[in-house]
């Protein structure tokens, strides 16, 4: 026997026992997006590598170390998408979606990063995200955060902490960058290898260091919100006022810079203390220069993305159980007729979940499978019932006796079981 092919490390199967929770979260997100007027955009898994090097930043860990990139047969440099914001912007530019227009968009799907797999961090992972293109004011920032807060409420999820910061405009950040370089140069002896490399390229990323030995020097660095331009400071103040008016609690974190170079002004994260080191469940912020950076007209924009694997783990105990079949049909030597009957019943009873026993075996073993399916009723079709245009109906979740009913009565009974509020 040949050795079984193993899955790629960090790329996991999502088994049927889990997919019901995934579908529940996805359906909740879809309904929330619809309530706010966001429309779904589906973008390719593969893009030109330059899309991500130009948007995320060439000196980020994602571009330098983590992207799955390759050259195709035509000599084009391509990459599996490590995130979707750049793809959404590229799609908006390519298809003229933001030419004298504003767009509220959402997306869902897998992303890919080559990093060390650990709980809550995988090489193939899934995100759901929202992007608002063409909106400059703090009202849309607040709406996006409120929309994420509503999703947590719909899911019954409690205990997430919102952290908030502002990075200012490109100009104010440039002045702040000079202060950071001066400060960290004065503390070079305390910097690790990554921070020394970032010092000459993107010193703001040093503030995002996860190295415990770096925390003391980071804590002493200048605070970015003390150096915002007046317009950014007013934008930030109005956003906080809107959140407070809506009753959304938040914590100001002046060290929150996010890991992607395209962010400006508002940045935020929803954090949990229930997933160990992988605390961020949902992250986002403004990227007012990205559209122009990728070849479009100057267009303000903001968005967020949540990690499905982490969110599914958080809501595992809150999700409803998978829907069981309404009925389980057991054919006794009448397989072709049973399958035809099942098709007719599905046609006549919209929403009916009907599982047909396949593979033969004894009536006893078939009834055990019917019981394990969770169905309310077992339907038994033998030669006698077939000849009389009837069927045996056996309740599986009550002490009621089994009975033989006509097809018409069966349809009525199944329709009652499928009615709203009945499972």
User: Going edge to edge, which strands form the sheet with 354-356?
Assistant: 354-356, 327-331, 377-381, 390-395, 403-406
CA distance 412 to 415: 5
pLDDT tens digits, 223-235: 888 889 999 999 9
Residue whose structure tokens are 């983590």 = 66
133 has a pLDDT exceeding 90: yes
- Walk me through the domains of the chain, giving residue ranges and CATH numbers: 16-169+229-315 (3.30.930.10), 327-418 (3.40.50.800)
60 pLDDT exceeds 80? Answer: no
Cα 63 from chain centre = 22
Residue 124 phi, psi (nearest 5): -110, 120
Q: d(Cα 111, Cα 83) in Å, to the nearest integer?
A: 6
pLDDT, residue 109, reads: 97
- Residues near 258 by beta carbon (within 8 Å), at least 6 away in sequence: 208, 267, 269, 283, 285
Helices (H), 133-278: 138-155, 170-186, 193-199, 215-219, 230-245
E strand or H helix that includes residue 416? helix 407-418
Express the helix, strand and coil content of the chain in percent, nearest 5 each. Answer: 40, 20, 40
Residue range 277-335, pLDDT digits in tens: 778 999 999 999 999 999 999 999 999 999 999 999 999 889 888 889 999 999 998 88
Q: How confident is the model at residue 203 (pLDDT cuts 50, 70, 90)?
A: confident
The confidence score (pLDDT) of residue 201 equals 76
Q: Return the closest-CA partner of residue 52 out of 30, 85, 12, 28.
A: 85
pLDDT at 422 over 60: no
Using CA of residue 304, residue 81, residue 167, residue 277, what is the dihedral sign?
positive
Q: What is the dihedral of CA 212, 213, 216, 221, to 10 degrees?
A: -90
């Amino acid at each position: 026997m040949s050795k079984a092919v193993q899955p790629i490390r960090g790329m996991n199967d999502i088994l049927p026992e889990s997919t019901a929770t995934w579908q529940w979260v996805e359906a909740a997100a879809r309904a929330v997006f619809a309530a706010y007027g966001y429309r779904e955009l589906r973008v390719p898994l593969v893009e030109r590598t330059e899309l991500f090097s130009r948007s995320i930043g060439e000196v980020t860990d994602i571009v330098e170390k983590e992207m799955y990139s390759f050259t195709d047969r035509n000599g084009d440099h391509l990459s599996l998408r490590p995130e979707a914001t750049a793809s959404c912007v590229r799609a908006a530019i390519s298809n003229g979606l933001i030419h004298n227009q504003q767009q509220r968009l959402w997306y869902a799907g897998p992303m890919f990063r080559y990093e060390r797999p650990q709980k809550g961090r995988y090489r193939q992972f899934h995100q759901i995200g929202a992007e608002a293109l063409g909106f400059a004011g703090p009202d849309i920032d607040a709406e996006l955060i409120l929309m994420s807060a509503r999703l947590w409420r719909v899911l019954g999820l409690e205990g997430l902490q919102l952290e908030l910061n502002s990075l200012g405009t490109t100009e104010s950040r440039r002045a702040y960058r000079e202060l950071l370089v001066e400060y960290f140069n004065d503390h070079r002896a305390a910097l690790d290898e990554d921070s020394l490399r970032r010092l000459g390229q993107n010193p703001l990323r040093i503030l995002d260091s996860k190295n415990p030995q770096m925390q003391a020097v980071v804590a002493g660095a200048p605070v970015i919100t003390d150096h915002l331009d007046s317009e950014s400071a007013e934008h930030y103040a109005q956003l906080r006022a809107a959140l407070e008016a809506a009753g959304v609690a938040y914590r100001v974190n002046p060290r929150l810079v996010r890991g992607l170079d395209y962010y400006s002004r508002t940045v935020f994260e929803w954090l949990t203390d229930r997933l160990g080191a992988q605390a961020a469940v949902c992250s986002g912020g403004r990227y007012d220069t990205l559209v122009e950076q990728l070849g479009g007209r100057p267009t303000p924009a903001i968005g967020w993305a949540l990690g499905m694997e982490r969110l599914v783990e958080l809501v595992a105990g809150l999700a409803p159980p998978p829907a069981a079949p309404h009925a389980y049909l057991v054919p006794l030597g009448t397989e072709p007729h049973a399958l035809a009957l099942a098709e007719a019943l599905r046609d006549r009873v919209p929403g009916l979940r009907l599982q047909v026993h396949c593979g033969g075996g004894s009536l006893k073993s078939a009834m055990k499978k019917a019981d394990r399916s969770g169905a309310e009723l077992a339907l038994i079709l033998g030669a006698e019932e077939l000849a009389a245009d009837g069927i045996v109906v056996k309740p599986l979740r009550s002490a009621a006796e089994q009975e033989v009913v006509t097809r018409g009565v069966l349809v009525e009974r199944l329709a009652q079981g499928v009615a709203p509020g009945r499972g």
